[in-house]
């Protein structure tokens, strides 16, 4: 397989040059292929939204604040989804941290 890759790699500059010439001559497929590799399609990106969450509240209250901001139209659906997924991940990390702390405490009590 490596030999095949090396053989093909040796011809890549010539292949690219030929495709460029074909694109210049009006070959739309060659032009599209070259442009897709050099200039990938732009993806839509939402403008950042400032969201103030209650810092002293728990994750449930913060999640509710995200949902309220979504319902009020202050936060796009994809941003609300991303924030809620991040909060769910944080909740799982907190659970694991708490379990680790409890296990360590129980192991410390064993004779």
Residue 94 CB partners (closer than 8 Å, separation 6+): 59
Which pLDDT score, from 0 to 100, does residue 111 have? Answer: 58
Which pLDDT score, from 0 to 100, does residue 26 have? Answer: 96
**pLDDT tens per residue, range 18-71:** 999 999 999 999 999 999 988 888 888 888 888 888 889 899 999 999 999 999
Q: How many Å apart are CA 49 and CA 3, to the nearest integer?
A: 52
Confidence of residue 108 (pLDDT cuts 50, 70, 90): confident
Q: Which of 87, 48, 47 is nearest to 67 (CA)?
A: 87
> Does the global pTM surpass 0.85?
no
Q: How many Å apart are CA 57 and CA 53, to the nearest integer?
A: 8
Q: How many CB atoms lie within 10 A of CB 98?
A: 10
Pair 87, 59: CB distance under 8 Å:
yes
Does residue 110 surpass a pLDDT of 70?
Answer: no
């Amino acid at each position: 397989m490596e030999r095949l890759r090396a053989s093909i790699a040796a011809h890549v500059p010539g292949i690219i040059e030929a495709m460029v010439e074909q694109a210049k001559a009006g070959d739309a497929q060659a032009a599209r292929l070259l442009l897709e590799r050099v200039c990938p399609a732009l993806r839509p990106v939402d403008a950042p939204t400032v969201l103030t969450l209650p810092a002293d509240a728990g994750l449930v209250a913060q999640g509710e604040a995200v949902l309220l901001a979504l319902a009020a139209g202050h936060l796009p659906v994809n941003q609300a989804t991303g924030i809620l997924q991040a909060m769910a991940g944080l909740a799982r990390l907190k659970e694991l941290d708490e379990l680790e702390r409890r296990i360590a405490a129980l192991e410390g009590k064993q004779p």
